[in-house]
Chain A
Amino acid sequence: MISTATARRIAGDVRSGKRTAREVVEESLARIEKYDGEIHAFVHVCSDEALARADGIDAAVARGETDGLLLGVPVAVKDNICTRNIPTTAASRILENYRPPYDAHVIERLLGEGAVIVGKTNQDEFGMGSTSQYTVYEATRNPWNSGRVPGGSSGGSAAAVAAGMVPIALGTDTGGSIRQPAAFCGVTGLKPTYGRVSRYGLIAFASSLDQIGPITADAPDAALALRVIAGRDERDSTSADKKVPAYDGKPVSGGSIEGLKIGLPLEYFPDNLDGEVAAAVRLGVSGLEKLGASVVEVSLPHTRYAIAAYYIIAPAEASSNLARYDGVHYGRRAESHDVRSLYVRSRSEGFGPEVQRRIMLGTFALSSGYYDAYYLKAQKVRTLVRRDFEKAFERCDLIVSPVAPGSAFPLGKWLDDPIRMYLGDVFTVPASLAGCPAVSVPCGMTGDGLPIGMQVIGPEFREGLVLGAAAAYQKATDHPAGIPSEIRKIESRSGANN
């Protein structure tokens, strides 16, 4: 039987000496060992380093050094976040065997608060995709149904938390890559405000959109993790010079969300929305109403243009960000006798099909003669989308919507239809373009036993409000999911074997 302890519980237990960090980490590693042969959430597990660090923490606790907010808490890290001397490949062949010489800012923060990195999680290559199938490794499976995708690109992180392997996993979100897999896997995933968390050490996909955020079992743990990783970092010029509140993840205004105005955007409940998703999200909204929130209709009229704008801006930035992977300085180098073929071969062999597609899209959008019609126009749309949110937040405190138009789909589906795949980002991309914080919270299950997520979007830097509402909701409602079916199966098999 698995009991998934929260990160705050684990840190409390380690601090008080009730449990040792070694016990906690060993348990996490044992679960990875047990489940991951089927789930494929991890691309690299660093057991030795994790256990050595756990022992170090236990020794420190024994000396009375018990300060860390995440003392002894096992954390999984998406493979596009740099970890010193630990393989970091962004799930790409072009970075095979690459070990960064430095830790990302978020890793420094985690380690500074006593967390233990247990491994790196699978993803779509460079964050480009929403299924975690565009990876040089084995595709990650959804813990609720191994024939389904876990979502992406942070599919490994969401699956690892859903399967109870770790209480906290870091993901990254460019157009929904934390929120959508969190929804598909039945866990909580927060995309912070753009600039809230330093991107230093995050392997860039689209610099003006990328944010690192936590994936956790519940909102209070997400709040705790955010408190650790958020804040100004001089090494990232786009990181905000704003004080980090002590996000406690407590429901807002003393345990109640009474008086909060929830905006429901018309554009996010289209006629063709999956019926089960629509019903579950509406049920979630009525749950919030029961807690004292009121509901108003709002409009985000430029939503329909957001996907098009996003799929110009993000690939444009990516085409430039990924230019450095050329076989010259690090990573995979193809055999060749001149520099041009070195570039062409290294990049053709090293990048997967979706990455190549986006590099070409972005290169085209920035080309002379097309720049104004595509990139510049897309930036104007981005401004309009941002204004939509500013206007909406004049009428409400939070916006609630579905995370994705449907639930987790079968592995292999839509791989040959990129446009269809891109349209799946329709509800997550606008908040990315606007820079707003948004959390994905489980709000129901499909008849097939797949989780459904509800998105709570707040104004810039109002993560406390967003997480507070999510926490209040989670406190008042039973988690709709419980233990994922694939994990239950593995447990019952191993129980039968024993």
Chain B
Amino acid sequence: MELEKLLERCEPVIGLEIHVQLRTETKMFCGCANRFGAPPNSLTCPVCLGLPGALPVINRRSFELGVRAALALHGNIQNDTGFDRKNYFYPDQPKNYQISQYELPLALGGYVEIENDSDAAKKIRLMRMHLEEDAGKNIHDPDSNSTLVDLNRAGTPLLEIVSEPDIRSPGDAVLYARSLREILRYAEVSDCDMEKGNFRADTNISVRPRGSGELGTRTEIKNLNSFAHLRACLEFEIKRQAEILESGGQVLQETLQFDPVTGRTSSMRSKEEAHDYRYFPEPDLLPVFISEDRVGEIRGSLPELPGPKRRRYVEDYGLSEYVAGVLTADRESAALFESAIARGGEPKRMANWIANEVAGQMNDRGLAWDECPMTPKMIVELEELIADGTITRKVGRGLFPEIFGTGKPPSDIVREKGLAGGADLSEIGRILDRMIEEKPKLVADYKAGRKKAVNAFIGPVMRKTRGKADAGEVVRLLEGKLGAPDEGKS
């Protein structure tokens, strides 16, 4: 059955739980480095190894980054919060419990705005945000046919962001996740690098007939680590549930896993097999109080977030919604734009360079914005070369991939390639000298003030310089050699 057809009759109700690793120097409850890619188990200590007798101590920075993230998402920071233990056995979890927040989460409420093509801006409400520690990683070793455990990641601070079931399509789910990621990157709380596992999604979904006010039985799909997988698994699951419902069956409440190779979901555990996490207050940690004053300070330190920034670009600089959207899609692209303006670049011109040429090059080369080799200075300089006539806009665009690729100042490239009129003045001079010597008639006509004679000089210069010469320069040089022609004669 086609998804679009199904969606005319069925309405999916979707919620997302997103785990974001916070960008701290050290782990959440010990002094080990919070870093990706180190040799297995090299970033560990008695605390994150869960050795007997070791105790956790809250990393103040992780708590404050959590507050910062929650504020960027409009959450209500709870002044009295605390940590609980979530008990379950798994080999990547050395204590066999996870320190999390259950009764007293960091923040309640909040929202993320999304804009899809059909609707006006829509608010996806958040239920809660809470801090917890990440687990390690189980790695299957084919050589020994055994499972190895790397605990470098164990104890990395995570913020779990739980949405209300406000999402109504796989596309909106992806938009929501993208917007969330964008905001958190702006707020500098996380790199949100999905390949490194900085940003991981679980989703829950149920399907109901359109117009129904009741919620259907939902399933939960764990560990989606790309936007494409999120979309694909939701599309699959909508079809699967809708077909069950339309054939009179019942959806089972269960936890599923998604196989990106087959594009299908399969059961991990049923409702009966669901864990009883036996939450209780973590006795090794004291409750945490955060004052309104401190919340206010953190709020004051937040940068301008993408939504307001986009609106400002449209209003202040007259950019189109599209261009403003491209520029603000990432904090680095917006920063590039703003620095270019600060260096005197004309806003619309700068916006076009970045939204078209820079973004295009980034896309072609598969680069992330934080890897962008373009400096604001390069863009401003390129635009100046065009504005002062050194090169044409067409030549400037043509040069762009090289500027981008080499990182050289545009003026150097223009000079090296001999593209500017100015750069070839001696050549023009030589061409003119020869013509003056060989064509006395032309010189006489020029001196007599015949306009045609000027063109007769320009034409061959253009031909011989393959069009690089600037006609104005040729005239200036000619005047230098032969004097200004008499006025008014033709």
Contacts and interface: CB of A to CB of B under 8 A. Distances in A.
Interface of A: 81-82, 88, 90, 95, 98, 100-102, 104, 199-204, 206-208, 234-238, 316-317, 319-320, 323-324, 326, 328-330, 339, 343, 363, 366-368, 371, 375
Contacts of A316: 280
**Interface footprint category on B:** 20 to 34
Given A236-B55, A317-B283, A320-B85, A329 B49 contact: yes
Given A324-B96, A367-B278, A238 B50 contact: no
Nearest to B29: A237
B55 A88 contact: no
B276 A323 contact: no
B170 interface: no
A202 B96 CA distance: 18
A238 B285 CA distance: 7
Nearest to A326: B96
Interface in B11-61: 46, 49-58
B91 interface: yes
B95 interface: yes
Contacts of A95: 52
A323 B97 contact: yes
A199 B55 contact: yes
B94 interface: yes
B57 A366 contact: no
B322 interface: no
Nearest to A329: B94
Nearest to B88: A323
B280 A366 contact: yes
Given A207-B283, A371-B280, A366 B91 contact: no
Contacts of B284: 204, 207, 236-238
Contacts of A207: 283-284
A334 B85 CA distance: 27
Contacts of B462: none
Interface string B89-133: 101001111000000000000000000000000000000000000
B399 interface: no
A206 B49 CA distance: 20
Q: Which of B50, B52, B57 has the most CB of A within 10 A?
A: B52
B96 A238 contact: no
B278 A343 contact: no
B95 A100 contact: no
Contacts of B279: 366, 371
A367 B276 contact: yes
Contacts of B51: 100-102, 330
B81 interface: no
A204 B53 contact: yes
A237 B50 contact: no
Given A207-B283, A319-B87, A330-B51, 8 more contacts: A102-B46, A204-B284, A206-B283, A207-B284, A237-B284, A319-B278, A324-B52, A328-B94
Contacts of B56: 237
Nearest to A95: B52
A88 B51 CA distance: 12
A82 B97 contact: no
Contacts of B85: 320
B278 A366 contact: yes
A203 B53 contact: yes
B283 A200 contact: no
B286 interface: yes
A235 B54 CA distance: 8
Contact of B50 (A104, A324, A367): A324
A368 B46 CA distance: 31
A237 B89 CA distance: 25
A237 B91 contact: no
Contacts of B471: none
Interface string B260-291: 00000000000000001011100111100000
A320 B53 contact: no
Contacts of A206: 283
A201 B53 contact: yes
Contact of A88 (B52, B283, B285): B52
Given A323-B96, A375-B280, A104 B53 contact: yes
Contacts of B58: 237
A207 B278 CA distance: 16
A229 to B, nearest CB: 15
Interface string B146-167: 0101000000000000000000
Nearest to A90: B52
A237 B53 contact: no
Given A235-B57, A237-B284, A238-B286, A320 B87 contact: yes
14 contacts: A90-B52, A101-B51, A199-B53, A201-B54, A237-B286, A320-B85, A320-B97, A323-B95, A324-B52, A326-B89, A363-B278, A366-B87, A366-B280, A368-B276
Given A323-B97, A366-B87, A237 B285 contact: yes
B52 A203 contact: yes
B52 A82 contact: yes
A371 B102 CA distance: 14
A374 to B, nearest CB: 11
Q: Which of A202, A203, A237, A238 has the most CB of B within 10 A?
A: A237
A328 B97 CA distance: 14
Contacts of A339: 91, 147
B208 to A, nearest CB: 28
A104 B85 CA distance: 23
B195 to A, nearest CB: 28
A281 B111 CA distance: 65
Contacts of B276: 367-368
A492 B202 CA distance: 74
Nearest to B285: A237
A343 B94 CA distance: 13
Top 3 A-B residue pairs of the complex, sorted by shortest distance between their CB atoms: A323-B96, A207-B283, A366-B278
A323 to B, nearest CB: 4
Interface in B56-92: 56-58, 85, 87, 89, 91
Contacts of A371: 278-280
Given A98-B52, A207-B283, A237 B94 contact: no
A82 B97 CA distance: 21
Contacts of A368: 276, 278
B272 to A, nearest CB: 13
A200 B280 contact: no
Contacts of A199: 53, 55
A200 B54 contact: yes
A204 B53 CA distance: 6
Given A102-B46, A320-B87, A324-B95, A200 B53 contact: yes
Contacts of A236: 55, 57, 284
A323 B280 contact: no
Given A101-B46, A366-B87, A200 B149 contact: no
A236 B30 CA distance: 11
Contacts of B89: 323, 326, 343
A235 B97 CA distance: 19
A316 B281 CA distance: 11
A375 B91 CA distance: 27
Contacts of A202: 53
A81 B55 CA distance: 13
Contacts of A238: 283-286
Interface in B137-152: 147, 149
Contact of A323 (B46, B87, B149): B87
B210 to A, nearest CB: 35
Contacts of B147: 339
A326 B89 CA distance: 9
Contact of B149 (A88, A203, A328): A328
Interface string B185-214: 000000000000000000000000000000
A235 B58 CA distance: 10
A76 to B, nearest CB: 18
Nearest to B31: A235
Contacts of B52: 82, 88, 90, 95, 98, 100, 203-204, 324
